[in-house]
Amino acid sequence: MAVTIYDIAREAKVGIGTVSRVLNNSPKVTDGTREKVLSVAKKLNYQPHAFAQALARKRSNTLSAIIPFFTNYFFIEVLQGAQETLVSLGYDLIIHGVNSREQMEEYLSKSLKKGRVDGTLIFSLELSDSVAKEFLEKNIPLVLVDTQHPKFTSISVDNFEGVRIATEHLINLGHKKIGMITANLKSVPAKERLIGFKQVMQKNNLSINDRFILSSSQTKNDGFSREAGYESMKQMLQQNSELPTAIFVSSDIQAIGVLAALREHNISVPHDIALVSFDDIELSKYFGLTTMRQPMYKMGELAVHKAIQLIENPGTVLSSETFTPSLIVRGTCGQNPAYSFPSN
């Protein structure tokens, strides 16, 4: 069997992307790393075009990605990691944006046609038993991102642990009246984050006020949008004469809408209401959001590596990798003195 860049990466103890950059004479590699990789390649008698030839054997050099929404910041950042990794490996990416399970199954049917793609990435969508069966029968490599299925390799974030860290951060700051603004509960992440929030409140013997918990009915982006956050906060303001002292928001982009609604009502963050959100998208630092960081770029990068491992080595053992998000403390919780907000 021909030596592949995976063999070189394993022997040299570096990433496959690093091996690819060395073999393509990229300047973005240190001299020490370059020498080590080339030494291993020579030791293993690697043929410069062996990987390309292997890909050419009845392969399209293409992966497909099935995502719910093109405009969701989470997916944009995950796809950036996937796309840049694919480019370094000489692969193309076909992206399908879907709005329903029926549409997803239609796109998958096209992707499953022999020779069209070498593997598929599915983001944040539940896999039906019928589609799972088809993938297994046709033996097409599949990696799930931000969702799981027991018969396929998956990469996800522990929503429950992330919510626990976020909510307990607010509790440790002295907050007892804590509310939550979540997205459309048809979304698995939105549902898990709400369940996790209630569990943490109960565990800490804090009362759960249903008037302080709002979910979105929006179908666009499953309610993970600025508009949804804005409308939910407006609704909470209209329905309550008394407000929580802190709110956990299920995504950064919603939190930006929440901030806008509070500003319109001259409610100061964090002086009147503290906020913690989820994702740590690029925009969050410009709004001073305290948030739970998901390793979005890394998730996309890892998804590609796992997919190509399955393509190159069909006998690869399936894996399920779960990341724990980390708390990034900025200004909206009131704890980081580096951030200060003017009083309204």
pLDDT > 90: what percent of the chain? 53
Work out the average pLDDT over 149-164.
95
* One fold for 1-57 and 159-294: no
Q: Which helix (H) or strand (E) holds 217?
A: none
- Strand blocks (E) in the chain: 62-67, 92-97, 119-123, 142-145, 153-157, 178-181, 213-214, 246-249, 274-279, 291-293, 320-323, 326-328
| Whether the predicted pLDDT of 60 surpasses 50 | yes
Q: What is the pLDDT of residue 55?
A: 45
What's the CA gap between 178 and 206, in Å, rounded?
A: 9
Q: Which of 2, 59, 52 lies closest to 23, judged by CA?
A: 52
Comparing 135-149, 200-214, 228-242, the range with the smallest average pLDDT is 135-149
pTM given for the model: 0.78
Fold of 1-57: 434 Repressor (Amino-terminal Domain) (1.10.260)
Work out the average pLDDT over 308-327.
91
Model confidence at 342, pLDDT cuts 50, 70, 90, reads: very low
Quickly tell me which residue has 């006998």 as its tokens: 315
- Per-residue pLDDT of 176-199, as tens digits, reads 999 999 999 988 889 999 999 999
Greatest Cα pair distance in the chain: 74
Enumerate the domain spans of the chain: 1-57, 159-294
Q: What is the pLDDT of residue 3?
A: 74
Comparing 45-49, 121-125, 145-149, 175-179, the range with the smallest average pLDDT is 45-49
Model confidence at 241, pLDDT cuts 50, 70, 90, reads: confident
- Per-residue pLDDT of 65-119, as tens digits, reads 988 866 678 888 999 999 988 887 878 888 888 766 677 777 776 666 655 788 9
Q: What is the pLDDT of residue 58?
A: 62
Q: What is the pLDDT of residue 230?
A: 97
Q: What is the pLDDT of residue 70?
A: 62
Q: Does domain 159-294 have CATH number 3.40.50.300?
A: no
Comparing 22-36, 209-223, 237-251, 322-336, the range with the smallest average pLDDT is 22-36
| Whether the predicted pLDDT of 301 surpasses 50 | yes
* Start-to-end Cα distance in the chain: 69
Model confidence at 47, pLDDT cuts 50, 70, 90, reads: low
Q: What is the pLDDT of residue 28?
A: 76
| Whether the predicted pLDDT of 23 surpasses 50 | yes
| Whether the predicted pLDDT of 325 surpasses 70 | yes
Q: Which of 158, 115, 157, 153 lies closest to 132, judged by CA?
A: 153
Look up residue 237 and give its amino acid: L
Q: What is the pLDDT of residue 51?
A: 47
Q: Comparing 247 with 342, which gets the higher pLDDT?
A: 247
Which tokens is 153 given?
Answer: 């390799």
pLDDT > 70: what percent of the chain? 89
Q: Which of 186, 161, 152 lies closest to 68, judged by CA?
A: 186
Q: Mean pLDDT for the chain? A: 87
Q: What is the pLDDT of residue 192?
A: 93
Work out the average pLDDT over 128-147.
87
Q: With the CA atoms of 312, 316, 319 and 325 taken in that order, what torsion angle do they form, in degrees rounded to the nearest 10?
A: -30
What's the CA gap between 97 and 93, in Å, rounded?
A: 13
Look up residue 78 and give its amino acid: V
Work out the average pLDDT over 19-33.
79
